Structure 1
Amino acid sequence: MKSVIHKRKLQDFAGSSVVHMVGGISAFVGAWAMGPRIGRFDNHTGKPIEIRGHSIPFASLGGFILVFGFFAFNGSSQGSISNPGDGSAIAVAVTNSVLAASGGAFTTMLMNKTKFFGDQKWSYLTALNGCLTGMVAICAGCNQFRTYIAFITGILGGVSYMCFTWLVLKLRIDDPLDAAAVHFGGGFVGVLSVPFFSHRYGIVYHWNLKSAYHLAWQLAGGASIFAWVATLSFILFFSLKKLHILRVPFEYELKGLDIPKHGETAYPSEAYGHGWGEKGDTLVGLVRDATKTCLKVMGPNEVRINIAERARPGESPEVDAIRNTKNGQVNKGFNRSDDDAATCGPMTSHL
């Protein structure tokens, strides 16, 4: 029995644990220490309020870059390509990565269509994150899984992504990129998939003492990584928070970091405005005016800001807010009184 134990060790071919679990745990602790963005959760109900990203096409481009990067990352984990059998091992790793990505994307897209896990929409961004989670999950065993097992591993990764995303929101932790769900959730599935699905010694194929020991080693390795990374991340992020250097000032967060931190804007101010010095009926100007009024009434620790919730077909709520304010109409969130001063909306966000 002693010799059996000594021969067992943590199996992780391409970094489900040492790369992705580490990143996911760090992201979770960092988001916890940072606190949610302004307006991310309703203070009365605790329900999350969507803060839309900058550009879905740009997110798509980044996602596809990551997908192709995974092919190189997982394949190159073989360490060489000149020895006998290297080519076959790399081919298996890349093929399994594609299948796991497909399983993850397919699963998350279907689950998001349900009422319990999603908004009953065919969400591209959810499918993209599910695709990445599937590739994270396959990393540990991409060199030894059968092709159908790779697809199943991707499905399990997609399920873990949806469950972790739901849990993080329930805890009122704001993780804008779902890094914890993608990397920790997918990485943990990958670590546990090897002792179950490996055709060499997996429990599904060989239920014996060796496979049981292998499962124990995987659990011990995953628990060790979790404890080590969570402890160090907690010390790091909460020390930065205690020193008041973890989060930017309130005004920077509301208006953006381009001007005060970088001295330049990503887009022409004439087209979008950046909030630092412009006047006029732009959305940023409305946010600035509403912020000043709310700060006078409520103080710096509680500011009520709510962007319009309704819009014309094909028009974003932001554009609708600007249009209705220009027309002098009362719109939920940004309202203008007779003296044209912005007043606070009904929703509250605490810093």
Structure 2
Amino acid sequence: MPEPTPFNGSNTAWLLISTALVLLMTPGLALFYGGLNRAKGALNMMMMSFSAIGLVSVIWLFYGFSMSFGTDTAGGLIGDLTSFPGTKTFLAETDLWGATGIPVYVFMAFQMTFAVITVALISGAISDRAKFAGWLLFALGWATLVYFPVAHNVWGGGWIFQKLHPLDFAGGTAVHINAGAAALGVALVLGKRIGWPRESMKPHNVPFVALGAGLLWFGWFGFNAGSELTVDSVTGLAFINTQVATAAAVLGWVIVEWIRDRKPTLVGASSGAIAGLVAITPACGFIDPWSAVLLGLVAGVLCALAVSLKYRFGFDDSLDVVGVHFVGGWIGTLWLGFFAHVGTNPSIESAFGAKDGLFFGGGAGQLGSQAGAAAIVTVWSFAVAFGLAWIIEKTIGFRVKPEAETEGIDISEHAESGYDLSNPGGSSGSSGAFALAGLGKSASAPAAQAPASESVAG
């Protein structure tokens, strides 16, 4: 850990606020994913996000933070597990995070929320067909074997950072490319949903989608601007870039829908916002605002087109994690190779050892660094996710039985339903959840007939 400096109350307050904002993003993701899903699997979809909060928070305390931000070990691949163990006490007055003057616990909590939502993002690719126990085991293994080492390599001073000096302000490689590659791997192992792509699987609750996107947009200011870890001009730069890039991406996605489908949609606008947020994440503190607008437009257009790739290649990425997060993460990461500007943020050179982008006279070196880091993370995350999912499927089973998938995974995995369709007039007896569970197949029939869900490409 860098040499500590005196406690800084302003920085600490800002990071506490940012931590709360980023934590809010995971319930926002649950609403976004839940609304995109079919009614009969909405709760299972949301449960995967909420369970990530519980599981990842605990393992982050005991060993995840040490693996991610501890002293280099194993050749810089991971951090030393003894650096910040959950059994050690850190004093608020003396145990501070480097030059920021922030207590270790505050930085630990901030980065914890990043780990939580990265794991939760993967779940959108496997809706309606994954056993909850299989998901928990996968989340535990992937966080340990992939997210923690990648976070160390990108942000914790590990091998990738030392060798390539990539720029990633808030998570283009460590979060979005990482989660998107894993989503593709696990989706390939679980296979296609019954009826996909023959049946139309549309979002069951579009207002949920918009509400979730709004909460994600709101929380993303903590995600991006909070990653400066202090209150200065770069914090403001990251904040304004986050807003204008996201706004431009909404326009880009809507324009594509208008030209291609003749009708702009709220689901499309919401998905465009997420695409813009994803793309600006690695670049928000390293580019000029005009460049952020251009990045948002490009991301909105390309991600809107990319979500159809699953039909071309035949993989069932249910809620377009690959098309939005993987593709958007690559766009934002490579963008820095062209538009990174030391004049905007001198720490590009002083702290990261990186260079101006190609369009600012820095040559192609930084573009190569960005592509190399993204490629390494892509291959590692995909390979481990595919292997973990395959092992789980061959042992305890990862995919639910066909009859459970057809009738509704909410009932089979959780014995509850998001909508009590058996008694629309209300009941003074058992709760709707247990009433539905008790009625069995006949009670779940209305849910099975509800509109199916497909995220963006519908």
Same fold (TM over 0.5): yes
**Once the 2 structures are TM-superposed, how far is the Cα of residue 8 of structure 1 from its aligned partner?**
5.9
* 8 Å CA contact 2:244, 2:293 repeated in 1: yes
How far is 1:213 from its partner?
Answer: 1.4
Match status 1:66 vs 2:234:
no
> 1:91-129 CA deviation, whole Å, 9 max, x = no partner?
1101101111111111111112233xxx33212111211
* Structure 2 residue identity aligned to 1:61: L
Please name the residue that 1:133 is paired with: 275
Q: Which runs of 5+ in 1 are unaligned?
A: 43-48, 288-306, 308-315, 319-351
Please give the root-mean-square deviation of Cα atoms over the aligned residues, in Å.
Answer: 2.7
Q: 1:40 to 1:275 in 2, by over 3 A?
A: farther
Q: Give the Å deviation of 1:176.
A: 2.1
* SS of aligned partner of 1:113: helix
Report matched runs for 1:113-152 at 5 Å. Answer: 113-115=258-260, 119-152=261-294
2:373, 2:315 → 1: CA distance?
26
Which runs of 4 or more aligned residues in structure 1 lie more than 4 Å from their structure 2 counterparts after TM superposition?
A: 5-8, 272-276
Match of 1:29 in 2: 185
1:10 Cα deviation after fit: 0.5
Kindly provide the amino acid, as one letter, of the partner of residue 263 in structure 2: K
Residue 204 of structure 1 is matched in structure 2 by: 359
- Superposed, 1:44-63 pairs within 5 Å as 49-63=199-213
Question: Which residue of the partner structure matches residue 106 of structure 1?
Answer: 251
Matched letter for residue 65 of structure 1: L
SS of aligned partner of 2:178: helix
Distance 1:168 1:260, change over 3 A: closer
Task: Give distance in 2, aligned partners of 1:190 and 1:286.
Answer: 39
Q: Which letter does structure 2 place at the counterpart of 1:106? A: L
Could you tell me whether the CA contact under 8 Å between 1:114 and 1:120 is conserved in 2?
Answer: yes
Deviations 1:219-250 (A, max 9, x none): 11111111111111110112222336111111
Task: Give me the TM-score of the superposition, normalised by structure 1.
Answer: 0.70
Between the aligned partners of 2:169 and 2:294, the Cα distance in structure 1 is 18
1:23-68 Cα distance to aligned partner (Å, 9 max, x none) = 11111112222112111223xxxxxx32122211111111111111
Aligned equivalents of 1:241, 1:26: Cα separation in 2: 16
Seen in structure 2, the aligned counterparts of structure 1 residues 41 and 80 have a Cα distance that, compared at 3 Å, is same
- Map residues 1-351 of structure 1 onto 2, 5 A cutoff: 9-42=165-198, 49-81=199-231, 86=232, 88-115=233-260, 119-200=261-342, 201-206=356-361, 210-243=362-395, 245-268=397-420, 269-271=422-424, 274=436, 277=439, 284=445
Normalised to the residue count of structure 2, the TM-score between the two structures is: 0.54
Aligned residues of 1:255 and 1:275 also touching (Cα < 8 A): no
Amino acid at match of 1:100: A
Q: CA deviation at 1:191?
A: 0.8
- Structure-2 change in CA distance of 1:7 and 1:29 (3 Å): closer
CA separation of 1:264 and 1:14: change in aligned 2, threshold 3 A: same
The answer to whether the 8 A contact 2:201-2:451 is kept is no
| CA shift for structure 1 position 202 | 1.6
Deviation of 1:257 after TM superposition, in Å, equals: 3.0
SS of the residue aligned with 1:140? Answer: coil
How far apart are residue 278 of structure 1 and its match?
Answer: 6.5
How far did 1:266 drift? 2.6
Q: Which has the higher contact order (CA 8 A, sep 6+)?
A: 2
**Other structure's SS at 1:248 match:** coil
Whichever of the two has the greater Rg, that structure is 1
Matching residue's letter, 2:227: S
Aligned residues of 2:185 and 2:383 also touching (Cα < 8 A): no
Q: How much has 1:12 moved relative to structure 2?
A: 0.7
Name the counterpart of 1:45.
none
Identical columns (%):
30
Shift of 1:265: 3.0
2:295–2:332 CA contact under 8 A, matched in 1: yes
Q: Deviation string for 1:155-177 (max 9, x for gaps)?
A: 12112312321112212222222
Whether the 8 Å CA contact 1:259–1:276 is kept in 2: the answer is no
- 2: CA distance, partners of 1:73 / 1:212: 29
Aligned in 2, Cα 1:6/1:32: closer, same or farther, shift over 3 Å?
closer
